[in-house]
Amino acid sequence: MKSPIDSRARFVETTAALLRRQGYHATGLKQIVEASGAPRGSLYFHFPGGKEQLAEAALQHSGQQMHEELLALVDAASEPGEAIRAVADALADRLEASRFLDGCPVATVALEAASQSPPLQRACSASYARWQAVIEQRLPRWGVPPEQVVPVANLVLCTLEGALLLSRAHADTTPLRSAGQLLAALLARHAR
């Protein structure tokens, strides 16, 4: 018999996958229950706030996963260009592996539902803030002047998210891979 923790984790992971693929409004509780294989009765036990609370947990989960991946990719790089290219390539590879079906769940929900849901807006904002913090913390080590750290990190995050969206829309990873190359060149110029 599966433990209650297993049911909660299955709901969160299933919801995160569905948000990546089809967004918030197209994802229903019935679909989540069926896809997760978890007992329907345990859904409201773990998430008494329903779909919104479950989506919030899924966004936190997805945000944490991306945070850990960013840390690993950035910390494995010897210089900023290598780090940014590695991130762009990882995003592009994931997009290709999904046949351009899976985007960023945080971006999808931010565009679709965050303006109507304070909990979802906060979850999206927190994920973006954590991802940007990873970049901000590494830029000084790579020689970016302190006064440029926040704007450069913001530019990197915005460019990669926008390139991911364009790559998904065009079913072509060229925007992501090009963004990685261009950001690498930009960072080389900003470094001392």
Q: Give the confidence band of 1 by pLDDT, cuts at 50, 70, 90.
A: very low
pLDDT tens-digit map of 123-141:
999 999 999 999 999 999 8
For range 20-42, the mean pLDDT: 94
Q: Nearest CA to 20 among 87, 88, 96, 105?
A: 105
pLDDT tens-digit map of 72-123:
999 999 888 999 999 999 999 999 999 999 999 999 999 999 999 999 999 9
Q: Is the pLDDT of residue 169 over 70?
A: yes
For range 21-42, the mean pLDDT: 94
Q: Which amino acid is at 179?
A: A
pLDDT of 8? 95
d(CA 144, CA 153): 10
> pLDDT over 90 for what percent of the chain?
88
Residue 163 is part of which domain span? 4-190
> pLDDT over 70 for what percent of the chain?
96
Comparing 70-74, 145-149, 176-180, 186-190, the range with the smallest average pLDDT is 186-190
- What is the model's pTM? 0.91
Q: DSSP class of residue 23?
A: T
Q: What is the DSSP string of 127-141?
A: HHHHHHHHHHHHTGG
Mean of per-residue pLDDT scores for the chain: 94
Instruction: Give the total number of structural domains in the chain.
Output: 1
pLDDT of 79? 87
pLDDT of 3? 57
Token digits of residue 53: 């609370």
Supply the CATH number for residue 151's domain: 1.10.357.10
